[in-house]
Amino acid sequence: MTLHRPTPSGPGPQKPLFDVAAVRAQFPILATLIHGKVPLHYLDNAATTQVPDYVLDAVRRHDATSRANVKRGVHTLAEMATDAYAAARTKMAQYLNAFDEREIIFTSGTTSAINLVANAFGATLAAGDEVIVSELEHHSNLVPWQLLKARAGIKLKAIPVTDEGRIDVAALPRLVTDRTRLIAVTHVSNVTGAITDVAAVVRAARSVGARVLLDGAQRASHGPLDVQALGVDFYAVSGHKMFGPSGVGALWGRGEILEVLPPFLGGGEMIRTVTLQESTWADVPARFEAGTPPITQAVGLGAAIDWMETIDNVAAAAHTAKLADRVLAGLRALGNRGVRVIGPANMERRVPVIAFAVDGAHPHDICQMLDSHGVALRGGHHCAQPFHERNNLAGTSRASLALYNTDADVDAFLNGLDDALSKLT
Amino acid sequence: MIDALYQKDVMRLAASAKGAGKLPTPTATVTVDNPLCGDRVTFDVVMDADKRIQEVAHTVKGCVLCQASASVIGAEAKGETAESLNAVRDTLRGMLKSGATAPTDGKWAALVAFAPVSGHKSRHECVLLPFEAVIQAAKKP
Ligand SMILES: Cc1ncc(COP(=O)(O)O)c(C=O)c1O
């Protein structure tokens, strides 16, 4: 594979200074009145972020002007759609700082990206080979490896979690062996918000010649990434968690690794030649994109990346960190009423995803009561059951912030929680 | 709306925790989970020769709605069979689905407290889960 750096593709929207009111004005859904009367305070961004007009318009514009299937047509619309899809790939390659845009495979999301690796890379593993995950993983970075274990007899190991809710990388040197082929961990926890010490993971993996996969679902909305600097081998993201449409995501993989992997799904577009008995495979990324891809959604995701590039990331991160500090302080102040933060106590090496438990009150009841205040939270095990079981928790409630959140959202959350506690405990 | 969902009746039912605990010598024990939220309900029963519930007890790791529902069962399930509980559950499910308000006669009238849950589809399972557990327990050979 020849390496050529993706080049920027035309101007995106204008880059204003970070102004939360101006940002909010671009998200029509944020003007919603819940139950027809209370303003929405959307604090469920770790589950799904909202979508700005710029993306909504791009999606509509694509389907209104350029809709066609990609690759297999020579007519004008087919070429426009193919170009738009290719441009989205270029944007994702830039956002992740891939070596080459052909290293970007569009998937339906993080889950399908990880399943792709578990099948294609998984096919190169032998019984007794080891995959190391962590106790903090989302089920989507756990179950695909359990399926591989059942299929291929690999050994599945898990890095423990510290009491602070971080992947305990100090345990890694004891876990890796010369049979370790992959360490697959989350870049940022969807429960504790902790950012993983990727350098330590890569070091441990390299010491035994293993590969590293990062689940980037929770990291992707917090500014551009650099997979080269991270030094990993696979990276998975979801469009709906980065201000883009649902139904699309991406897997980045190092070109030299992808090139020698067998396909996962078979079908149209992923072959070079097909006879009745056998086929040869197309080059990457087509080899891993069987069938019609999520074209419109990928175009929308490309627009989301353009939109994110209009944001001053440093200012946006400072803004959300300040709000998150208020959330953490507010939860701490409720400590005498049974409230406990599950995760790091301050904003060091973490994102504004904040889980908490309340003695004597169930997360669903808390979330339901907060909904009457217009506050959207999430409660349950957040698809991270092993972590909750380790901490003896049936579930937690979670407030997760994005750059369009405000002090008013934090106020509504803390007041609503106070109210819920007085009713429930 | 919300205040209706957590009205006094439901809160009182949950707090009363009728039948909460374990039986010393159950004839059957069944645990069911709600995979969506991780809620877990365990029912112990002692069945008599006519396959009627003689004694019942439950442990609930769940929300207020789940606790309240288990509490109604704890109070009323004695003398019921798996079939009769099934019928109660069907009526309850109908009430949740359609929003009808007065589904049950005398003995199970307390279930009317769950009528406001009808507008919250994501919470129906919270109310129904204890019924699933007790019915399975009553059916166990
Ligand atoms: C850390 C993490 N990994 C993976 C996923 C799965 O993403 P998706 O459902 O978009 O495939 C999520 C989303 O909930 C997540 O938070």
Write the pLDDT tens digit of every residue in A198-215.
999 999 999 999 999 999
| Fold (topology level) of A58-308 | Aspartate Aminotransferase; domain 2 (3.40.640)
Residues in A touching B120 (Cβ below 8 Å)? 368
- For an interface test with A, the pick among B7, B8, B63, B69 (most A C-beta atoms closer than 10 Å) comes out as B63
Q: State the pLDDT at residue A142.
A: 98
With contact defined as beta carbons under 8 Å apart, do A192 and A350 qualify? yes
pLDDT tens by residue, A292-347: 999 999 999 999 999 999 999 999 999 999 999 999 999 999 999 999 999 999 99
Ligand 1 centroid–CA A397 distance in Å is 17
Measure A217 CA to ligand 1 centroid, in angstroms. 5
Is B105's pLDDT higher than 60? yes
**pTM of this prediction exceeds 0.80:** yes
DSSP characters for A273-329? EE-SS-EEEPPTTGGG--SS--HHHHHHHHHHHHHHTTS-HHHHHHHHHHHHHHHHH
pLDDT, average across residues A84-107 = 97
Q: How many CB atoms lie within 10 A of CB A327?
A: 24
Q: Give contacts of A35 with chain B, Cβ < 8 Å.
A: 1
Structural domain spans, chain A? 22-44+312-424, 58-308
Asked if the Cβ–Cβ distance from A362 to B62 is below 8 Å, we say yes
Question: Once rounded to an integer, what is the mean pLDDT over residues A233-252?
Answer: 98
First to last CA, chain A: 61
pLDDT of residue B58 exceeding 70: yes
Tell the CATH topology of B2-139: Sufe protein. Chain: A (3.90.1010)
Tell me which chain B residues have a C-beta less than 8 angstroms from the C-beta of A371.
Answer: 2
Q: Please tell me if residue B105 touches chain A, with a CB cutoff of 8 Å.
A: no
**Which tokens belong to B78?**
């004695």
Q: Is-contact B58 B130, C-beta < 8 A?
A: yes
pLDDT at B141 over 90: no
Which residue is associated with the tokens 């307390």? Answer: B110
- How far is the C-alpha of A14 from the C-alpha of A11, rounded, in Å? 8
Averaged pLDDT for residues A109-130? 98
SS (H, E, C) A328-355: HHHHHHCHHHCEEEECCCCCCCECCEEE
Element housing A230 (H / E): helix A227-230
Asked whether A159 and A141 are in contact (CB, 8 A), the reply is no
Q: Does pLDDT of A5 surpass 60?
A: no
In the set A1, A34, A86, A383, the catalytic residue is A383
In angstroms, rounded to a whole number, what is the distance separating the alpha carbons of residues B46 and A6? 70
Q: Which residues pair with B20 in a beta bridge?
A: B58
What lies within 8 Å, CB to CB, of A315 at 6+ separation is A17, A18
Question: Of A178-187, A329-338, B58-67, B101-110, where does mean pLDDT reach its minimum?
Answer: B101-110
A238 within ligand 1 shell (Cβ under 6 A): yes
Higher pLDDT, A282 or A148: A148
Q: Is the pLDDT of residue A285 over 90?
A: yes
The four Cα atoms A257, A262, A266, A272 give a dihedral, to 10 degrees, of 90
The response to whether residue A196 sits with its C-beta less than 6 Å from ligand 1 reads no
Would residue A383 show up in a list of annotated catalytic residues for this protein?
Answer: yes
**pLDDT tens digits, A164-176:** 999 999 999 999 9
Which atom of ligand 1 is least distant from the CA of A186? 1
pLDDT of residue A16: 52
Contacts of B63 in chain A (CB under 8 A): 362-365
Q: What is the pLDDT of residue A404?
A: 98
Choose which residue among A190, A192, A214, A248 to substitute to test ligand 1 binding: the one with the highest number of ligand atoms within 8 A of its C-beta: A190
Does the CB of B60 have a partner CB in chain A at under 8 Å? no
Q: How many CB atoms lie within 10 A of CB B101?
A: 10
User: B38 CA to chain A: closest CA distance, Å?
Assistant: 6
Asked if A390 reaches chain B (Cβ–Cβ under 8 Å), the answer is no
> How far from chain centre, in Å, is Cα A138?
10
A422 vs B: CB within 8 A? no
Q: What is the fold of A22-44+312-424? A: Aspartate Aminotransferase, domain 1 (3.90.1150)
Confidence bin at A13 (pLDDT 50/70/90): low
Mean pLDDT of the B20-28 span? 96
Chain A nearest-CA residue for B33: A394
CB A371 within 8 A of CB B2: yes
Distance, CA of A225 to CA of A205 (rounded, Å): 21
Query: Are B62 and A394 within 8 A, CB to CB?
Result: yes
Nearest-CA residue of chain B relative to A360?
B63
ipTM above 0.95, yes or no: no
